[in-house]
A and B are shown apart, each in its own frame.
Chain A
């Protein structure tokens, strides 16, 4: 065997070449969980015995010629918002104490049908209402590269589990950036598909009209593989004659047009992020990509629109437990939910009107290009315990800064993907983000541009 498989695609080839087995790979993931989880705190629930049994089944099926496709036998983790029959869905909150799921989420059912091995359920910001994972009933997730820093959030345990080699992919949710932010902080690929594209039945909601389900992975090809399984578009293994690669064939970079979103989206960046993003744009130009500029005229209103929709919808879901079990929430999460309870209906409706305006403006920006390009995260992974982060000569609230690059596309519903594009002098990942009109087309563009965007320099 050559190098150890790093991606799902490589692992699939190794399985089918009989170079490794699902059992051996799953065992290695479980070993890494044993070794590193006490420090990183990525998992709330580890499902070692179930995972071993699923891996043995996968090996038996593959040996017998039943191939369920590219996720068959692949160890993955699930953010602990997804129902998995017979296990707790904690949402990282004491409010959920005693909960046991009685059925699988739709996406979990699809993952099982695709032969995925579920190694465990990952830690998150309580009820996904935050970007750092510091407010969790199970303690903070720590960044695998620097335990003094956050892995990002709210799907921080998911990102940490993939970065630390405890799983090949993780399934997260993204309401304002909760897949893309931790993926960016941990140097992974994070895909938020288009709004409503993946069924969220059986997933604990945060904001019913902003929530998205998607994968955190190590490559665009892997994101495409997991996306198709989550979406339910892969054929049944019994019907399929072959399993083609999930990603569409990459195009020529020189035929692609990308517009950089400036103004608001580049005005408040860490200096190393800004420099890395500039270099990324340069590499794309060098590869022949046509790089132009675009703007969102109402960008200054994004945060106000987001806040009034997200908090009002979250408050509706949590109203009963806020009345009866308020002390079971961490205080910062409780306070944000209480803010949502005081939003007036008329202001919620104003925000919905703003949502339409912003959606039209993103559509307009995409009119003559294949994708929009902007930084994935304005700052590298932030230090745990700090509410502010220094940018230039100003201290900015961590939460506002972390949502700044991502929340627009939850509002508008456009698919967006973050890819690593460099590292800081201290070795922390920096990320770029591509935004498109349709997820399959965006994945094609991202696969084409990935060699130019992703660098470890």
Chain B
């Protein structure tokens, strides 16, 4: 699931439950998730760049 799709779903759910302050926090979490997914330790099932970068360290 892309971060944008995840965020849309999570915000919709928060609004449905009346948690009006939650979307701003979810947006911050989405930024953290983007950082996490961009990290060079993540492995790529296709053997692509992510794995190469992880092997290099940083």
Residue in chain A with minimal CB distance to B40: A298
- B-chain residues with CB within 8 Å of residue A354 when the two chains form the complex: 36, 39, 41
- A-chain residues with CB within 8 Å of residue B10 when the two chains form the complex: 342
The CA-CA distance from A30 to B57 in the complex, in Å, is: 55
Q: How far apart are B12's CB and chain A's nearest CB, in angstroms?
A: 11
Majority-rule SS of B interface residues? helix
Q: How far apart are B7's CB and chain A's nearest CB, in angstroms?
A: 9
- A-chain residues with CB within 8 Å of residue B6 when the two chains form the complex: 342, 344
Interface residue A305 (Cβ < 8 Å from any Cβ of B): yes
- B interface residues, tally (CB under 8 Å): 22
- A interface residues, tally (CB under 8 Å): 25
Interface residue A9 (Cβ < 8 Å from any Cβ of B): no
Q: How far apart are A336's CB and chain B's nearest CB, in angstroms?
A: 7
Interface residue A453 (Cβ < 8 Å from any Cβ of B): no
Q: How far apart are A261's CB and chain B's nearest CB, in angstroms?
A: 16
The CA-CA distance from A351 to B3 in the complex, in Å, is: 15
Is there an interface contact between A339 and B22, defined as CB atoms closer than 8 Å? yes
User: Which residues in window 332-352 of A have CB below 8 A to B?
Assistant: 335-336, 338-339, 342-344, 347, 350-351
| A297 and B36 in contact, given A335-B21, A338-B19 (Cβ under 8 angstroms) | no
Is there an interface contact between A297 and B37, defined as CB atoms closer than 8 Å? no
| A347 and B14 in contact, given A307-B29, A339-B22 (Cβ under 8 angstroms) | no
Is there an interface contact between A339 and B26, defined as CB atoms closer than 8 Å? yes
Q: How far apart are B53's CB and chain A's nearest CB, in angstroms?
A: 12
Report 26 cross-chain contacts, Cβ distance below 8 Å, ordered by A residue: A297-B57, A297-B58, A300-B35, A304-B32, A304-B35, A304-B36, A304-B39, A308-B32, A335-B22, A335-B25, A338-B19, A339-B22, A339-B29, A343-B33, A344-B1, A347-B33, A347-B36, A350-B36, A350-B39, A351-B36, A353-B41, A353-B42, A353-B43, A354-B39, A354-B41, A356-B41
5 pairs of A and B residues whose beta carbons are closest in the complex: A304-B35, A304-B32, A304-B36, A342-B10, A357-B41
